[in-house]
Amino acid sequence: MPLLSSYIEKFSKVRVLVIGDIMLDRFVYGKVERISPEAPVPVFRFAYEKEMPGGAGNVVANLVSLGCKATFIGIAGRDENGSKITALLEKSGAHSHLLRLKDYPTIVKTRLIAGNNHLLRADQEEIIPVITELLPKFRKILTQAVKNADIVLVSDYNKGLLTPVSTQMIIDVCNQFHKPVLIDPKGADYSKYCGATLVKPNLKEFSEATGQKYNPEAADFHQKMVEGAKALFAKYYIKNLIITLSEYGMIHIPAENPEDIQHIPTEAKEVFDVSGAGDTALAALGIAVGCGTPYKDAMKLANIASGIVVGKLGTATVSRTELLDAILQRTTSESSWPQKRKIITLEQAVNIVAKFRKTGKKIGFTNGCFDCCHLGHLNSFMEAKKLCDVLIVAVNSDASVKRYKGPSRPIQDEKTRALLLASLEYVDYVIVFDEDSPLHIVEVLKPDVVAKEGYALDKWPEGRLALSYGGKAVTLDRIEGYSTSNLVAKMKG
């Protein structure tokens, strides 16, 4: 299985379309130091305020923060608060189709916060009126946006945009263009989500939809969850359910085989504020599924992301760097293998190389599949390390090896190969890459020495690139008689 961090490298290539109820989240911060003499209520002393897109807008903000290309379709009022939402979406870098209604006030949620405590939430909202004449325009915008997306996220806050008609229109268009559609639902009636790729309720919403109560600590919890999921699958033809369980983690139940239930634990360490945690989970889950991440790993990423955001105050977002750091901490704390700290992403490598360069260290680089590590590989690492202070080794991902070596390879998965390399004293850092060539890594890191055994310069683009920016390209001597292909053939007899 690929490393969790390797999926994050693909986030920037994913195009995500978000459709849903947007609002303006206003956070008013201050202090409470006394009780009012007029009534037994606290006196709130204003300090400052922040405004940001809320609801589906927070999903968009998280997607942008995680580094993907985000597009939004929604409705706001033709008022000052609607203009603020428009400006905030533009500032984030997201592309938006915000339909502005003349007689509809933009939804605003204002929270008063003293220290780390929420004192009060004041809502200004009206349910969006059903405007049948808007549907043709909505479908036209929707169709074009779905065509240009890799995945579609629907964020339902039950504010009127996502009616049974409009929601089914979204699902139909997504199915027409074979685009997965993930839905964060609201309400007990799932008929409007009929045919969705995935629906992501929390446990309370799942309980309301199935009409059953569930106890995560009960011995028959999984069995009861599967029974409830089967009922929804049979009635509404939903293909997957992911149920968030707060402090109990997340569960994935596929319609194809409901008994194949996957349950992962929670990641939150310290909870300050759960505002927007579901939005963060939807964003991380969507972007992960959009780049081909299996559901179990996508859930892990969503769980880690929401675990980060509940440790922040106010409607918050998670960045790529925060997610990568959390994965690194999670890996090293859970594992007895300290060598895992040496397995890094290209993004992390940029910062590491910059720090070493400040101290005058020479950076070396080599690469390969390293499917079955043998004496020839060990000799290459040893010789390459002699040429530099810090040796970075790039190893082909499983998908990359299959394209390069054929469907029967690799023999060992990328996690195993990366860990074996990281365990060698000659190797300082390991990067798993998904491209056919490590040329992009050399372009970004510009190592002082690029070394490889047995490659002539005319067939070695990384070597030519190194020479072009003033680095060295060193062809290492090959120890004859050692190759992975020969080892594989020998094992097969």
Q: Which residues are catalytic?
A: 279
Distance CA(492)–CA(245), nearest Å, equals 47
Contact assessment for residue 48 and residue 67, using Cβ atoms and an 8 Å cutoff: no
C-beta of residue 177 within 8 angstroms of C-beta of residue 146: yes
Which residues, in sequence order, are bridge partners of residue 98?
Answer: 74
Exposed (0-12), middle (13-18) or buried (19+): which is 110, by Cβ within 10 Å?
Answer: middle
Q: Which residue has the tokens 């706001």?
A: 76
Q: How far is CA 9 from the centre of its chain?
A: 10
Which stretches of 320-399 are assigned E, i.e. beta strand?
A: 343-344, 363-368, 390-396
CA-to-CA distance for 75 and 22, rounded, in angstroms?
7
State phi, psi for 272 to the nearest 5 degrees: -105, -40
Chain centroid, CA 27 distance in Å: 26
**Interior CA angle at 46 toward 43 and 52, to 5°?**
125
Q: Which residues have CB under 8 Å from 124's CB, separation 6+?
A: 105, 107, 108, 109, 110
* Token representation of residue 60: 């968009």
Beta-strand ranges (E) seen in 338-440 are 343-344, 363-368, 390-396, 429-433
CA Rg, the chain, in Å?
A: 26
Tell me the helix, strand and coil percentages in the chain, rounded to 5.
Answer: 40, 25, 35
Residue that has been written with the tokens 């446990």 in this structure: 203
Q: Which one, of 200, 189, 149, 201, lies nearest residue 170 by Cα?
A: 149
CA distance 489 to 63: 46
Residue 143, helix vs strand vs coil: helix
- Closest C-alpha to 165, from 199, 136, 125, 208: 136
Please choose, from the candidates 431, 425, 433, 472, the residue with its C-alpha nearest in 3D space to the C-alpha of residue 452: 472
Beta-bridge partners for 77: 101
C-alpha 338/C-alpha 357 separation (Å) is 24
Instruction: Give just the sign of the alpha carbon dihedral 108, 113, 117, 120.
Output: negative
Task: Please work out, in degrees rounded to the nearest 5, the angle formed at the alpha carbon of residue 365 by the alpha carbons of 361 and 370.
Answer: 140
